[in-house]
Structure 1
Amino acid sequence: MIKIKFGTDGWRAIIADDFTVENVKRVAYATALWLKQEFENPTAVVGSDPRFAGPLFADVTTQVLASQGVKVFRASNVFVSTPMISLGTVRKEASAGIIITASHNPPAYNGYKIKASYGGPATPDDIEKVESQIPDTIDLKLKTVKEYEADGLVEFIDLEDMYVKHVEASFDMDAIRNSGLNWAYDGMYGAGQNVMRRILPDITFLHSEHNPGFDGQAPEPIQRNLKEFEELIKLSEGEIASGLVTDGDADRIGLYDSQGNFVDSHHILLMLIHYMYKVKGQNGDVYSTFSCTSKIQKLCDAYGLNNTVTKIGFKYICDLIVNSGRPFLVGGEESGGIAAAGHIPERDGIWIGLIIWEFMAKTGRSLTDIVNEIYDVVGKFAVERYDLHVTEELKQKIISNSKGGVYGGFGSLKVVRTEDMDGFKFFFEDDTWVMIRPSGTEPVLRVYAEAPTSADSFRILDMVKADLLAS
């Protein structure tokens, strides 16, 4: 039997290779043991995204949990998103939520995510407790899901309906629907498609059919994966006001303006702060990861808001939302995972997209207008990134040089200060910066740069790349 190890956001493996019925049984059994140790009458919400064999693996998880006396609230829907599982966990006051998903991974993968009772990622400590109890082999005599339902150990619930009602109660959907603006949505064949068809049936849809193989592409909402959607918006010649994209389990966001320009998470975070504080008058702390733009701090300073920078990973943001004891406004990471006040402490691509669309609908501002308003406060900027594929030997040498203060500058740029919270960030005299962060799983260095324009950022990246490869 393979040793099962959870990554930063769940266990993921290739279907029929390591992601098998037998191995899912092992993980579900360990989850049941953990739940029984932590809760007197443990319960769990269980569902799956649209990936291949999702319902099968969700049923197996349900059967194993029920066999151990854990009551399961099983999604009655064919597929659900991760935010729907998290919302259901909070609404049903369940001990945990479990979704069968590999998020934005390629179609050959599936996975198993555990959500805590507060509706966000389980803590590393809890994941470790599950991991440590995964048996090498398992031999359980299981009843059918229907039999466990008859025993009162399984209850089917409509998570999609629950989520739609939550959206209708939280947004001015009439304003969005009747704004006269045309919207577009690329579901990437993922878990957001049915909800979007229910709440905004008359918008333009792309890749919003059930296709468990995602048409062969990883459902990750990054620009290089979205050329068809980008072209659709450009061909509309400004008729489509904005395009929203969500990933396989609909917890990450991608966004486009009316000209078909990709709007990254750095800008989305700034727009959320601007709308929620400046326009709606909400208040609270902002949380951003180490790889996010420095302009978040600048905007928070201008608005008198507290911004806390965390290590990279949404779990660090979730921990602050749940445990800081302070009001929360917005929190997010560079990779498209963003949370906002008034919802669960969870990334949610649809929710964040609706906040931006509500902003546009209620104020008459275009995305370009909103971004320019923010630039008036913090200045123009662009964050770009290279992934450098290097030998492990060179990777370790660069890390050692970064730790040792070897890099006093790159090309013509002089380093004036450094930060090393999670990787190494080198600041230059004009407030531009470059960040070097090694991958923990492969011989790759992720290198980010922020400057006033994309061309400036790529110029920095090219200088840094040349020096690093010459190390």
Structure 2
Amino acid sequence: MDKIKFGTDGWRAVIGDTYTIRNIARVAEGTAQWVKQQSDSPSIVIGHDCRFNGRMFMETAIKVYLNHGIKVYYADGFVSTPMVSMGTKEYGANIGVVLTASHNPPSYGGYKLKSNHGGPLLPAKIQEVEDLIPDELAVEKYTADLDAAKKSGQLIKVDLEGAYINAIKENFDIEAIKNSGLNLAFDAMYGSGQNVLKPLFPDMSFLHCEHNPGFMGQAPEPIAKNLKELEAFIKSNGNIDAALATDGDADRIGLYGKDGEFIDSHHIILLLIHYMVKYKGMSGKVVTAFSCSPKIAKMCEHYGLEHQTVKIGFKHIAGIMIDEDVLLGGEESGGIATKGHIPERDGIWMGMIIWEFMAKSGKSLASLIDEVYEIVGGFKFERSDLHISEDLKLEIIENCKNNVYASFGEYKVDKVETIDGFKFYLPNDSWVMIRPSGTEPVLRVYAEATDLDEVRKILKTTETTLLKQ
């Protein structure tokens, strides 16, 4: 029997291999048992993303919940992770479930857990659910009459996407953006956020905003190497002021400026802080993951904001957002949440803030980034994903633990931080970080320096050092 483990952000597995009806039912059983421990009248909100057989897998989980007498609110059709998180809070459910593999390749399926606060279920609670997943589950435990459950009121269809669109209307100045003269584009990467912006901005340029469970073979992660079509579209059009991209479940953001240059999450986080504090007069703590740029701490110092660094995985940020006054929580991978919304990553919501910033200030994205540079200094960042054998990956991590890397080629290591992975600080405000992925067979290498050539040189030198085993 397959052992089911929740990683950095839920359980992920290859569809038809370990991601099967039987295993979905087992995870649903553990979820149902946990929810019944929380309440005498338990309820669950559930939705699925755009991936293959999403509805079938969702109905399997629903049948398990129904057999436990749990009330279920379900989305009819694909929805994003932020939609389910909002719904979990809105309906006062004990837990939210999103059947999604987020940014992973199209062959993967997944199962995320959401808290009644509207964000990721906290790590200790996730472990409790995992501990309740049985090794076996009889087939009759995941058969139920869905039509009868709908008639009895135990199974209720809800419009999570409509509620999300209404929340955007209520929280953003849509007319200001429309009337600003900005030419905007949106690339949904065939993900579950594909229908959100169409009714709000019908004249916008839309890419990959149709249902395609195979994602044209592309992992729907909004990073530069996966967004070449969007980059080419911006450059060939010559009139796009900013372009937003979101991942498979629309909780991560990718951003492009007018010249077709990819704007990484570090810059997005800095732009958001700058707008919310200087332009909107907001305040609060900033919480960022270990892989984020030290420039964020510098920005916080400039504005007198408290800054905290946590382990990678938005669940570590969400817990702080629930308990404290947090202005922004963010990750290098494009998962960012802000005050006034749910404690959840939300790519479209963050894009709306950036567009509103541009519209209200009347400034280009490049000009706003220059304002940020005046505070923290200019910098560039890139990440490289090394697909190497598990043995070599473990050997490299062991070398990191044993302080084998005193330098990477000509780059001497000044100090090392090990909150989650290994961040090596190099001369001239540059750094390189090494960390194994929590959801994929990949070793990630991150680097920052004052210009892009230097960043790429650091990455190449580091990779050469690591692979010379």
| TM-score bin (small chain) | over 0.9
Closer, same or farther: CA 281–442 of 1 in aligned 2, 3 Å: closer
Q: Distance in 2 between matches of 1:214 and 1:413?
A: 39
CA deviation string 1:318-361 (max 9, x = no partner): 121113xx311111111111111111111111000000000001
Q: Distance in 1 between matches of 2:22 and 2:401?
A: 44
State the match for 1:123 in structure 2.
122
Q: Distance in 2 between matches of 1:234 and 1:288?
A: 32
State the match for 1:180 in structure 2.
181
Q: Distance in 1 between matches of 2:315 and 2:328?
A: 14
Q: What amino acid maps onto 1:61 in structure 2?
A: A
Aligned mate of 1:433, from 423, 426, 431 = 431
Q: Distance in 2 between matches of 1:86 and 1:440?
A: 22
Instruction: Determine what percentage of the aligned residue pairs are the same residue.
Output: 54
Q: What amino acid maps onto 1:432 in structure 2?
A: S
Closer, same or farther: CA 294–36 of 1 in aligned 2, 3 Å: same
- Structure 1 residue 444 displacement after superposition: 4.6
* 8 Å Cα contact 1:26-1:138 kept in structure 2: no
State the match for 1:85 in structure 2.
84
State the match for 2:215 in structure 1.
214
Q: Distance in 2 between matches of 1:206 and 1:389?
A: 29
Aligned mate of 2:347, from 343, 346, 349 = 349
Q: Distance in 1 between matches of 2:158 and 2:394?
A: 50
Aligned mate of 1:449, from 447, 450, 456 = 447
Q: Distance in 1 between matches of 2:454 and 2:29?
A: 52
Name which of structure 1's ranges 110-119 and 266-275 shifts more when overlaid on structure 2: 110-119
Q: Distance in 1 between matches of 2:440 and 2:115?
A: 29
Closer, same or farther: CA 226–177 of 1 in aligned 2, 3 Å: same
CA deviation string 1:269-303 (max 9, x = no partner): 11000001111110011111111111001111111
**In structure 2, the residue corresponding to 1:113 is in which secondary structure?**
strand
* 8 Å Cα contact 1:25-1:138 kept in structure 2: no
* 8 Å Cα contact 1:252-1:337 kept in structure 2: yes
- Structure 1 residue 435 displacement after superposition: 1.6
- Structure 1 residue 385 displacement after superposition: 2.5
Q: How does 1:147-296 map to 2 (within 5 A)?
A: 147-237=148-238, 239-296=239-296
Structure 1: unaligned runs, 5 residues or longer: none
Closer, same or farther: CA 283–441 of 1 in aligned 2, 3 Å: closer
**In structure 1, the residue corresponding to 2:297 is in which secondary structure?**
helix
Closer, same or farther: CA 89–383 of 1 in aligned 2, 3 Å: same
- Structure 1 residue 23 displacement after superposition: 2.1
Q: What amino acid maps onto 1:454 in structure 2?
A: L
- Structure 1 residue 428 displacement after superposition: 2.6
Aligned mate of 1:424, from 418, 422, 425 = 422
Structure 2: unaligned runs, 5 residues or longer: none
Q: What amino acid maps onto 2:111 in structure 1?
A: Y
- Structure 1 residue 125 displacement after superposition: 2.0
Q: Distance in 1 between matches of 2:74 and 2:395?
A: 50
Name which of structure 1's ranges 460-469 and 80-89 shifts more when overlaid on structure 2: 460-469
Q: Distance in 1 between matches of 2:271 and 2:139?
A: 52
Closer, same or farther: CA 391–163 of 1 in aligned 2, 3 Å: closer
**In structure 2, the residue corresponding to 1:52 is in which secondary structure?**
coil
**In structure 1, the residue corresponding to 2:195 is in which secondary structure?**
helix
Q: Distance in 1 between matches of 2:60 and 2:304?
A: 50
* 8 Å Cα contact 2:8-2:312 kept in structure 1: no
Give me the CA root mean square deviation: 1.8
State the match for 1:336 in structure 2.
334
- Structure 1 residue 394 displacement after superposition: 4.8
CA deviation string 1:86-133 (max 9, x = no partner): 000111111111111111122222221111111111122222222222
- Structure 1 residue 390 displacement after superposition: 4.8
CA deviation string 1:355-375 (max 9, x = no partner): 000000111111111111111
Closer, same or farther: CA 40–372 of 1 in aligned 2, 3 Å: same
Q: What amino acid maps onto 1:381 in structure 2?
A: F
Name which of structure 1's ranges 393-402 and 29-38 shifts more when overlaid on structure 2: 393-402
* 8 Å Cα contact 1:48-1:80 kept in structure 2: yes
Aligned residue pairs: how many?
467
* 8 Å Cα contact 2:433-2:445 kept in structure 1: yes
Closer, same or farther: CA 14–438 of 1 in aligned 2, 3 Å: closer
TM-score scaled by length of structure 1? 0.95
Q: Distance in 2 between matches of 1:5 and 1:83?
A: 23
**In structure 1, the residue corresponding to 2:343 is in which secondary structure?**
coil
Q: Distance in 2 between matches of 1:441 and 1:41?
A: 34
- Structure 1 residue 209 displacement after superposition: 1.0
Q: Distance in 2 between matches of 1:50 and 1:392?
A: 30
**In structure 1, the residue corresponding to 2:241 is in which secondary structure?**
strand
Aligned mate of 1:386, from 384, 387, 391 = 384
Closer, same or farther: CA 440–202 of 1 in aligned 2, 3 Å: closer
Q: Distance in 1 between matches of 2:56 and 2:92?
A: 25
* In the alignment, structure 1 residue 68 sits paired with structure 2 residue 96: no
Closer, same or farther: CA 459–395 of 1 in aligned 2, 3 Å: same
- Structure 1 residue 150 displacement after superposition: 1.5
- Structure 1 residue 409 displacement after superposition: 2.9
Q: Distance in 2 between matches of 1:470 and 1:212?
A: 39
Q: What amino acid maps onto 1:420 in structure 2?
A: T
* In the alignment, structure 1 residue 377 sits paired with structure 2 residue 375: yes
* 8 Å Cα contact 2:7-2:438 kept in structure 1: no
Aligned mate of 1:463, from 458, 461, 464 = 461
Q: Distance in 1 between matches of 2:91 and 2:441?
A: 43
Q: What amino acid maps onto 1:152 in structure 2?
A: G
Closer, same or farther: CA 458–183 of 1 in aligned 2, 3 Å: same
Q: Distance in 1 between matches of 2:341 and 2:349?
A: 8
Closer, same or farther: CA 393–241 of 1 in aligned 2, 3 Å: same
* 8 Å Cα contact 2:122-2:318 kept in structure 1: no
* In the alignment, structure 1 residue 102 sits paired with structure 2 residue 97: no
CA deviation string 1:231-282 (max 9, x = no partner): 1111111x11111111111111111111111111111011000001111110
Closer, same or farther: CA 176–443 of 1 in aligned 2, 3 Å: closer
